[in-house]
Amino acid sequence: MHEGLRQRLVRQIEALPDEQVYQVLDYIEFLASKYNRAPLREPNSVQRFTERLEDRMRLQGLAYGTIKGALGIMGTAGKVVSGISDASRTVIREVEQVVLGPETPRDAGQNGAAPTQLPPRTNRDEDGTKAG
C-alpha cells in the first residue's frame, strides 16, 4: 500500500464514530480472511492480548468508551514492556562489552596482516628520559 492511500484511509477512519470504526475493522478482517494470500504480520504478545481483550469486550456489548479506556491502558502497558525490552538489550550489550572487551577491527588478521597492537610500554618519563 502506498503512503498516500494509507493516509487517506487513516483520515477517513479518524472521522468516523467508534461504532463505525469497529464495523470497518470487521469488514477489513472479513476481506483479509477471504482474499489474503500472504500471511499477516504477527502481533507481539501484548498486541495479541490487547486484540483478544478488545474482541471479548465487544462481544459482551460494553460501551465504546469503556473499551477505549481499557485499550488506552493496554497501549501504555505495551509501551512500558517495549521500553523494558529495549533497556534490557542495551544492558546486555554493555555487559558483553565489559566482559568480552572491545571488538577487534574486522580487517585485523585478514590478508596475512597482523592485528594492530599498541607499542610496548617503556620505563621512560613523559620527557623521554629514563625513569628511575
Q: From the CA atom positions of the chain, what is the Rg in Å?
A: 29
Residues 91 and 57: their CA atoms lie apart, in Å, by 38
Asked if residue 58 lies in contact with residue 22, where contact means CB atoms within 8 angstroms, the answer is yes
Residue bearing cell 469497529: 22
Reported as a single tens digit per residue, the pLDDT across 60-90 is: 888 888 888 888 888 888 888 888 888 888 8
Residue count of the chain, please give it: 132
Q: How far apart are CA 21 and CA 38, in angstroms?
A: 24
pTM: 0.48
Q: In sequence order, what are the beta bridge partners of 130?
A: 124
Write out residues in the chain with pLDDT < 70, as ranges. 102-132
Question: Across-strand partners of 124?
Answer: 130
Alpha carbons within 13 A on the beta-carbon side of 64 = 7
Distance of CA 83 to the CA centre of its chain: 9
